[in-house]
Amino acid sequence: MTDSAQTIKNKSIDSYKSFLIEKYRPPSKGGNTKALHQHIITVEGDTYSFLALGTKQWVYKSDSVSFDWEWDAAKKYRNIKKETIQTYDSKQHPVVRGHREYKKTLRIAQTRTPVSRREDSGFES
């Protein structure tokens, strides 16, 4: 842990939101299950965030959570170190939630609109 890192210990969350970061993909093309999302957690009025795959929540309101976080360069955002997130259910048993996988490359291509192959066959009648 670096000097700039701070810790939240055994706190319950006020709210949890997630937003798609990568390009949208329709369900017929595989959907956004493994697309990069920004996860935002509010604890005691302070907002913390991290990037992870999928929209699955890592923490529920009935859980307690502990994690390390640090300010970004501009001291505007509190960034959670996602490898330090520890979640405990209502009975204080450790649980693992959310997609904890890693993806090397981001999706940058736009989804093409569906077109009929018959519209332009290249043949003239």
Q: pLDDT tens for residues 74-120? A: 888 999 998 999 999 988 899 988 877 777 666 666 666 666 666 55
What value does the mean pLDDT of the chain take? 83
Q: To which H or E segment does residue 50 belong?
A: strand 46-53
Amino acid 26 reads P
Distance CA 1, CA 4 (A): 8
Q: What percent of the chain has pLDDT over 70?
A: 80
Distance CA 47, CA 40 (A): 7
List the chain domain ranges: 6-95
User: Which among 58, 35, 61, 38 has a CA at the least distance from the CA of 49?
Assistant: 38
Question: DSSP label at 28?
Answer: G
Instruction: Measure CA 1 to chain center.
Output: 22
Angle 19-20-25 from CA coordinates, rounded to 5°: 150
Write out the two tokens for 124.
């003239």
When pLDDT is averaged across residues 3-23 and rounded to a whole number, the result is 88
pLDDT in the model for residue 7: 92
The predicted model scores a pTM of 0.76
pLDDT in the model for residue 2: 47
